[in-house]
Amino acid sequence: MSDEVPAHATDRDLQAWIADQRWYTAKGTSPRLRTIAEHDGTRLVIDDAPTGPVLYQAPVTPTDGGALRDATTDPEWVRALTARIDADPESLRPIGAVSSSRVLTGEQSNTSVICDTDSGEQVIVKVFRVLHHGDNPDVTTQLALSAAGSARVPRVYGALRSTWPDTGRPDGSATGHLAFAQEFLPGLEDAWRVALRDARDGTSFAEEADRLGAALAEVHGTLAAALPTEPADESRRAAAIATMHARLDAAAREAPAVAEHVDAVRAVYARAEQAAWPDLQRIHGDLHLGQVLAAPGPRGWVFLDFEGEPLRPLEERSLPDVTLRDVAGMLRSFDYVAGALAQDAAPVDAGDWAHTARAAFLDGYQRGTGSDLRAHRELLDAFEVDKAVYEVVYETRNRPGWVGIPLAAVTRLAARSAG
């Protein structure tokens, strides 16, 4: 379908166009749109979808032929957007004049635009498509890290916040982030690709995994210093464990293979609830090897996309959480490297490679934090098995041939914890 819609488009005109976009969340349904705000070329529309209302940012600008196109492809609109980001009080450093721009292909939930600037720097501007009231953790977390001088995230330029009507709120309005600008790091491989290649070739990833663990420890330490922390009191522990049980119940209904492990997994969660919990703080929230870039030289590993787990409500993703959730996510990612290679046309047994990488990652993290993860083994097991349960549901829905990867982890972790 064309990226263009009729000039002076009505909500009805936009419906077919939005339904065809990668970032449209209610796939397979027909959008029912109503515009609630329009200014500076930005159009905010609510889709009264059967799965629940969703607010989209759908900026459009006129073409020479009089039709409308997605404004993220319009260099003039992008220049105006970056000027608004520079003027926002949250901005850390100026983007300056943008000489050219292009949309990064392949992204789904947001749209990223690469900007060349007159200073010679390249900036990536993320335009959030689905909007929510409240701070976007991708913005606030990376702003805090960048403001603290951390090189473990791309340098942040700034963000753009806006207010729109919301009849469901007491004051009749909502406020949230529309866009976020940071340093663009072209040509870098993510850790998933590096690890996959090394595992396939039989090259040890231990040294890189150790440095990755130390880098994550550094990120967690910076966040604990820059943003609020709080004790993991009984109510927060109970809420976290209840979420795990709810996810397990849903998984057992959708993926019958999980059902035989339910009792053993519940025992893992029960032990975790009674274990000692570290203080809660801001974390990444959805960490895996694909969220880390391999930068050359002393900079090393750079972390991306701090939005948190996509299925969790936005307000939950900004809450202080347990750092072990990030550790568990990375452990699962190493396991997935071995699992992916086992699915190849020419399968590779990378089980020992993954075991060594996991151990090295934990060593690096422990050294970086000065802590002993053995003191939190029950809790780390619970977060890892919870992540594996989540993966079982995902693979059942999307890649049934891969469901054995997380299911094996559920079996292993439940059996080890019981022993």
pLDDT tens sequence across 2-18? 567 766 778 988 898 89
Same domain, 90 and 226: no
CB atoms within 10 A of CB 79: 17
Same domain, 209 and 282: yes
Provide the pairing of β-strand 60-62 with 68-70: antiparallel
Same domain, 110 and 199: no
Total count of domains within the chain: 2
What are the residues whose beta carbons fall under 8 Å from the beta carbon of 167, sequence distance 6 or more?
none
Structure tokens at 231: 């004790």
pLDDT in tens, 48-64: 988 889 999 999 888 87
pLDDT in tens, 337-386: 999 999 988 999 999 999 999 999 999 999 999 999 989 999 999 999 99
Which uninterrupted H or E stretch holds 31? none
Per-residue pLDDT at 286 exceeds 70: yes
* 3-class DSSP assignment, residue 129: coil
Per-residue pLDDT at 1 exceeds 60: no
Structure tokens at 311: 């299925």
Cα 363 to the center of its chain, rounded Å: 25
Which uninterrupted H or E stretch holds 184? none
Angle between helices 324-342 and 351-369 (to 10 degrees): 160
Domain end point (choices 153, 183, 213): 183
What are the residues whose beta carbons fall under 8 Å from the beta carbon of 212, sequence distance 6 or more?
191, 292, 301, 330, 361, 364
Alpha-carbon distances of 225 from 136, 148, 285, rounded to whole Å: 20, 9, 18
CATH of the domain at 285: 3.90.1200.10
Same domain, 95 and 132: yes
366 closest CA partner among 348, 380, 385:
380
Output the CA angle 326-216-299, nearest 5 degrees: 145
Same domain, 77 and 99: yes
Domain end point (choices 154, 183, 212): 183
Q: What is the mean pLDDT of residues 403-413?
A: 92
Same domain, 177 and 264: no
Same domain, 278 and 404: yes
197 closest CA partner among 340, 332, 361:
340
Look up tokens 């005109």; give the residue: 13
- Write down the number of H helices and E strands in the chain: 12, 14
Same domain, 412 and 265: yes
319 closest CA partner among 219, 239, 212:
239
Contact 175, 160 (CB under 8 A): no
Domain end point (choices 165, 183, 201): 183
Residue type, 127: V
Same domain, 178 and 203: no
Same domain, 23 and 50: yes
Residue type, 87: A
* CA–CA distance, 338 with 348 (Å, rounded to integer): 8
Mean pLDDT rounded to a whole number for the chain: 93
pLDDT in tens, 68-98: 789 999 999 999 999 999 999 889 999 999 9
Same domain, 340 and 318: yes
Alpha-carbon distances of 306 from 98, 250, 310, 314, rounded to whole Å: 26, 26, 10, 12
* Edge-to-edge strand ranges of the sheet holding 68-70: 4-5, 68-70, 60-62
Per-residue pLDDT at 419 exceeds 60: no
Q: Which residue has the higher pLDDT, 259 or 200?
A: 200
pLDDT in tens, 128-141: 999 999 999 999 99
pLDDT at res. 52: 87
Per-residue pLDDT at 111 exceeds 50: yes
Same domain, 164 and 210: no
Look up tokens 């609109």; give the residue: 77
Query: Which structural domain range is residue 231 located in?
Result: 191-418
102 closest CA partner among 125, 129, 69:
125
Q: Is 96 left (phi over 0), alpha (psi -120 to 50) or beta?
A: left
pLDDT at res. 345: 87
Q: What is the mean pLDDT of residues 111-134?
A: 96
Q: Dihedrals φ, ψ of 204, to 5°?
A: -60, 140
What share of the chain in percent tops pLDDT 90? 78
Strands (E) in 14-165, as ranges, are 33-39, 42-49, 52-57, 60-62, 68-70, 98-103, 110-117, 122-128, 130-131, 156-165
3-class DSSP string for 257-280: HHHHHHHHHHHHHHHHHHCCCCCE
Per-residue pLDDT at 109 exceeds 90: no
